[in-house]
Amino acid sequence: MPLLECVPNVSEGRRPEVVARLVAAVTSVPGVRLLDVSSDPDHNRSVLTLVGEAGDLRAGLLALYEAALREIDLTRHQGVHPRVGAVDVVPFVPLGDTPMKEAVMAAEALASEVAERFSLPVYLYERAARRPESCRLADIRRGGFEGFPAKMADPAWAPDFGPARVHPTAGVTVIGARFFLIAFNVVLETADVAVAKTIARKVRESGGGLPAVRAMGVYLESRGRAQVSMNLVDFRQTSVLTAFNRVREEAEALGTQVLESELIGLMPEEAAMGVVAEALKLPEFKMDRIVFGQA
């Protein structure tokens, strides 16, 4: 059967006991394999990486929605990351030889059932989008949970599934199909968020920076540092190393340094291998050049 990766993002990253219950809900379904959980208190967000067949994933995700609607109240939620829903976004990614159409069908099936079962407005995005204005996740999320009632008053922003009203505590949800996305953040030595925002503007594609890079500058209260938070939506166009080097160069030009970087969730093997090949200038570097284990 075709295998899919699914990377649900939930609006909770500060209460580990709640995150544990959300994880338990989605993994209660046989056939759903959990590969990773990444939580961040400043973003107040957790990213789960799941693998399975479409039917198993759908059942697990429905359990996740049920738990999230019970546990998360967006009227009390605060964090530096944009969000419109308790279960904010659920992308399906085809693995191996699985065609993109399988991911699109999985997104559509989940969207229909989520809307019917939980009375949640659902927007389809990326490869599953049904209209140009809802293709980009950033466009859907613009205005956030608080601004969505006014946004939805415009008929152009009617949901693809579900009622044309924002759920009072769970907001809306966005479900789609896409290529691999690498969530990659760079923490700066400075605490000045204006510096991070300036760097983000220069790095992201929409500002004339790197192709297939989306970026924002945020302040991490828990660390007392500024961060450039990036989504690399196509590592074949811009690698992790290229994005990191560009942030480092821009930071140095503004009088600060890179403290560290962090990967949220997982990255594809091809992307990781590409970083090594690029850094060492080894164009023929492949997995068969690596010995696994220790002597």
Give which of 16, 59, 5 is closest to 40, Cα–Cα: 16
Percentages of the chain per state (helix, strand, coil), in multiples of 5: 40, 25, 35
Question: Which overall architecture, per CATH, does domain 182-285 show?
Answer: 2-Layer Sandwich (3.30)
Distance from C-alpha of 11 to C-alpha of 278, rounded to nearest angstrom: 35
pTM equals: 0.94
75 by Cβ neighbours in 10 Å (0-12 / 13-18 / 19+) ranks as: exposed
Per-residue pLDDT tens for 29-64?
999 999 999 999 999 999 999 999 999 999 999 999
Contact 185, 213 (CB under 8 A): no
Task: State both tokens at 166.
Answer: 């924002």
Helix (H) or strand (E) holding 195: helix 193-203
Superfamily name with CATH number, domain 4-177: Formiminotransferase, N-terminal subdomain (3.30.990.10)
> Region 217-221: what's the mean pLDDT?
98
Map out the domains of the chain as residue ranges.
Answer: 4-177, 182-285
Indicate the average pLDDT of the chain.
96
Residue 1's pLDDT band, with cuts at 50, 70 and 90, is confident
CA distances from 56 to 34, 61, 76, 142 (A): 12, 9, 32, 32
Name the phi and psi angles at 64, rounded to 5: -65, -45
pLDDT given for residue 289 in this prediction: 78
Helix (H) or strand (E) holding 124: strand 122-126
Supply the residues annotated as catalytic: 81
Task: State both tokens at 294.
Answer: 């220790």
Q: Which 8-state DSSP code applies to residue 289? A: G
CA distances from 190 to 168, 185, 251 (A): 38, 15, 9
pLDDT given for residue 295 in this prediction: 52
- The answer on pLDDT for 79 being more than 80 is yes
SS3 276: helix
Helix (H) or strand (E) holding 241: helix 240-253
**DSSP notation for 135-181:** SSHHHHHTTHHHHHHHHHTSGGG--SBS-SS-BTTTB-EEEEE-S--
> Region 233-259: what's the mean pLDDT?
98
Residue 283's pLDDT band, with cuts at 50, 70 and 90, is confident
